Chains A and B, each alone.
Chain A
Amino acid sequence: DQQVKQNSPSLSVQEGRISILNCDYTNSMFDYFLWYKKYPAEGPTFLISISSIKDKNEDGRFTVFLNKSAKHLSLHIVPSQPGDSAVYFCAASAQSTNAGKSTFGDGTTLTVKP
């Protein structure tokens, strides 16, 4: 049973518009959520995170929203740029467990068209 789900395998948006990537989780023990970005032939790189005590975290063009009651988080990119085209992974971890293990979703491929 997948504990972290990204139900949209792909998303295509126009440059300058908003990109919204969604993620759902099932494990109530998760209390830290992260987004990673991955370009082809490279390893994932950390983008933004949020702890369960917050419902929003912003970093420049990137904002993550957390709805704990719905067990849902989303990543908003405004405005979207062609360089944002990549695979985005949602990840979740339970801080109380050892070693900061994270569970990853299957990823959403974002394409930003010029």
Chain B
Amino acid sequence: NAGVTQTPKFQVLKTGQSMTLQCAQDMNHNSMYWYRQDPGMGLRLIYYSASEGTTDKGEVPNGYNVSRLNKREFSLRLESAAPSQTSVYFCASRETHSSYNEQFFGPGTRLTVL
């Protein structure tokens, strides 16, 4: 039982390049989320998916797109990377009827855009 996995762990891009961050969970959770964390700040929600087949914008969606490929996988795409997107990206999942309402996080992807 791996929980939430993310690939890659590290990535360096040049301005204007594109890339996709992958996330998968094996807990059969309905909801999945993408966050970014900048130094000294909390986690800010980029996009989320309440269930398979649905996606919605979070607090900071500009410059990103997402795909909920199936119940397990939720990917985040940067079409044209900018230095302002240098951050650590976390994927999370949650069971809809959780007793504690908690989210389970992956280990993160550290992205640098030059």
Contacts and interface: CB of A to CB of B under 8 A. Distances in A.
A61 B94 CA distance: 25
A31 to B, nearest CB: 10
B6 to A, nearest CB: 8
B75 interface: no
Contacts of B33: 99, 101
A101 B101 CA distance: 10
Interface string B11-25: 000000000000000
A97 B44 CA distance: 17
Contact of A100 (B35, B41, B44, B96): B96
Contacts of B103: 46, 100, 102
Interface string A94-105: 010011111111
A44 B58 contact: no
Interface residues of B, number: 29
Interface in B34-51: 35, 40-45, 48-50
A42 B98 CA distance: 23
Interface in B79-114: 90, 92, 94, 96, 98, 100-108
A95 B101 contact: yes
B108 A43 contact: yes
Given A42-B107, A99-B31, A100-B31, A93 B101 contact: yes
Query: 7 closest pairs, A vs B, by CB?
Result: A43-B105, A99-B50, A46-B102, A104-B42, A106-B42, A104-B43, A49-B100
Interface of A: 4, 6, 9, 32, 34, 36, 41-46, 49, 89, 93, 95, 98-107
